[in-house]
Chain A
Amino acid sequence: MIASLLSLKDLRVTFRTMNGQVSAVRGVDLDVAPGEMVGVVGESGSGKSVTFLGIMGLLPNSAIISGSATVDGIELVGAENKTMRKVRGKKIAMIFQDPLSALNPVYRVGDQIVEMIQSHQHLSKSAASARAVELLDIVGIPQPKQRSRQYPHEFSGGMRQRVMIAMAISNDPDVLIADEPTTALDVTVQAQILEVIQRIQKEMNKAVVMITHDLGVIARVADRVQVMYAGRVVERAGVDELFSHPTHPYSEGLLNSLPRVGQSRLQPIPGRPPNMLRPPDGCAFSARCEYALDVCRTGMPELRRVGPSMTACIRAAELTLGVKA
């Protein structure tokens, strides 16, 4: 097995709020190797974004992060500011969801990329500017030189996201974390952006984490998948394996809820995600699970191997899960 570049072990994130402590992430493991894209799937509130914002140190001060997260051997949890500054933008770069609000509206696009470059490399302003133009070209922005002098609001949504990608790869980071990069975009543009990210992943051999709630995105570009629910990983599988043989009722529910041609009724997963102020004992999905037994509600199920996948369902071995006809 290729050594993983980014490695999370038992990562936990808790928020202190006025109403009490919210356990947003309750023990997540993850390994990403160079050149592969791992998809992290979950609904809103599953903790998928919080996990990665947490390891990057981008959460508000009310967040308490524990566990371990290493990139290229450097421990991130509890790291000093100095260390984090060397990691952010250089070892790990993030691409955010809404490029309009994620880019500073008062600075030109080229200048923002230059700022990213100059904070990690010793390049003169003109050299950095030239590099910025090159990067815009790499991500497929036409007339890069003129456009680098423009402001974010002068770009369309897809173009803006390309700018963010250009900025993210400007220091040749080992790991790219894309947090719902296509959610704010039109469907047609989504495909283009995914293509850009995948190209970068393969040509530059980067480790990519693709956070999304959209299974379509996963199907398209991911190599492996982690499904998250209520702050924990409930299934870890290869992409093909997940779609053909899901091993967790939640994954099955997700697949079934995708609209299909010929369906007469939609099949959502009944019920709602639990409130993380008082996280349930036992399996968090059991309240909504049609296969749940009493034992599911008592102990916290660990990930176990079932076939080629890892799953948190204790009944996985005996159940045959899959898309219902």
Chain B
Amino acid sequence: MTDDTAPAVDTVEALDAREALNVKGLSPFQMARKRYFHHKGAAVSTVVMAILLFIVVFAPLTARYGVNQQVLDISEGKNQYLSPRSIAWMGTDQIGRDLFSRLIWGVRTSLFIGVSSAILSVIIGTAVGAIAGLRGGWFDDIMMRVTDLFLAFPFIVIIIIMRAFLGAVPWITGIIGDVSSIRFIIALFAIFGWMGVARLVRGQVLALKEREFIEAARAVGASNTRIVLSHLLPNSIGPILIALTLSVIGAIVGESTLSFFGLGPQPGADAVSLGQLVELSAEGAKQGNWWMVVFPCGALVLLAICINFIGDGMRDAVDAKMDIGG
């Protein structure tokens, strides 16, 4: 709204008058932040996620027991599948382990998987999408055809096939680890998650490419790299952040889905993933142990909803049309 091309005025009265009449302009970031918190779901979710993150990051302190620690003696078949009580807030499982603690450890692992693969996806996807959008030409063509094709396939089919493929090639597993490891699944989601991000970023770059400020930058002699780094990327932060949140939740739900089919990560004796807990919930359902279903699935749903809200809030934050309107 304010016109920065107006020439400076030097008289004291003029400066005073200007101060009195102009409301302090807010920077784009501040405006975005305002719009973000105007979205109540996003605001609440941010708080919830912050609390959750605090709990899981400090898991050694906040979890009451270790991952595989038996709460009570289960020999002779007693003390299995205890319902929630003071010694185990969310009940125990078949081996007498505290579900509450395992849930914290599980969410920690899964969040780690989700965030890591999302960050990798976004880095790769942004790079590819930006280059494709900026350069155009054959690179763009090929990339778009390839990503289109991959994105059209049912996601699970691709993941299952690629999991098998990547897991069977020795030199690949040498780098990213064995099929059941956490490293592997992070790599798997990163490798097949960047395509959606690339499309988003490419779209944004194409839209920005034609805008005058890019022309202006070129006219001043900015190199392509500089244009990408200093002009295009900062203006694409919105869609990139949104893609990031969607990737995180996609990876977390994906991990759970794979576990559902028995193909999820098996982090070994020292850790557990949310997907594993969800997988065990199916059994728990059949035996009527409601806590085994409610808490892990509830955690998953809570994560999904919160992260989705955050993504929605970000979408609102970057949409300037929100400003005029009730």
Do A and B touch, yes or no (CB under 8 Å, in the complex)?
yes
Interface residues of chain A, those whose CB is within 8 Å of chain B, are 15-19, 45, 60-62, 268, 270-275, 277-278, 280, 286-288
| B212 interface residue per 8 A CB criterion | no
Once the chains bind, are B35 and A274 in contact (CB under 8 Å)? no
Assuming the contacts A17-B325, A18-B322, A62-B324, asked whether A271 and B1 have C-beta atoms less than 8 A apart, the reply is: no
Once the chains bind, are A272 and B14 in contact (CB under 8 Å)? no
Once the chains bind, are A270 and B14 in contact (CB under 8 Å)? yes
Assuming the contacts A45-B1, A270-B6, asked whether A16 and B326 have C-beta atoms less than 8 A apart, the reply is: yes
A18 to B35, CA, bound (A): 8
Chain A residues, Cβ within 8 Å of B3: 272-273
A15 to B9, CA, bound (A): 31
Q: Could you list 10 examples of A-B contacts with CB < 8 Å?
A: A17-B325, A18-B35, A62-B324, A62-B326, A268-B7, A270-B7, A272-B3, A275-B2, A286-B17, A288-B17
**Shortest distance between the CB of B323 and any CB in chain A (Å):** 6
A-B residue pair count with CB separations less than 8 angstroms:
58
**Shortest distance between the CB of B12 and any CB in chain A (Å):** 13
**Shortest distance between the CB of B48 and any CB in chain A (Å):** 24
A62 to B17, CA, bound (A): 30
10 tightest A-B contacts by CB?
A287-B17, A274-B21, A275-B23, A62-B325, A270-B9, A280-B21, A272-B6, A272-B3, A275-B22, A277-B23
A45 to B23, CA, bound (A): 15
Binary per-residue interface labels of chain B (23-45) against chain A in the complex, 1 for a CB within 8 Å, 0 otherwise: 10000000000110010000000
- Chain B residue total in the interface (Cβ 8 A): 21
Once the chains bind, are A287 and B1 in contact (CB under 8 Å)? no
| B157 interface residue per 8 A CB criterion | no
Once the chains bind, are A278 and B17 in contact (CB under 8 Å)? no
Once the chains bind, are B38 and A18 in contact (CB under 8 Å)? yes
Once the chains bind, are A18 and B34 in contact (CB under 8 Å)? yes
Residues in B300-326 with C-beta less than 8 Å from chain A:
322-326
Chain B residues, Cβ within 8 Å of A274: 21-22
Chain B residues, Cβ within 8 Å of A288: 14, 17
Residues in B4-19 with C-beta less than 8 Å from chain A:
6-7, 9, 14, 17-18
- Among B1, B35, B38: residue with most chain A CB under 10 A: B1
Once the chains bind, are A287 and B324 in contact (CB under 8 Å)? no
Assuming the contacts A62-B325, A62-B326, asked whether A272 and B23 have C-beta atoms less than 8 A apart, the reply is: no
Assuming the contacts A271-B14, A271-B18, A287-B14, asked whether A18 and B7 have C-beta atoms less than 8 A apart, the reply is: no
Given contacts A16-B325, A270-B9, A275-B21, 17 further A-B contacts (CB under 8 A): A17-B324, A18-B35, A18-B38, A18-B325, A19-B323, A60-B324, A60-B325, A62-B326, A271-B14, A272-B2, A272-B6, A272-B22, A275-B2, A277-B23, A278-B23, A287-B18, A287-B21
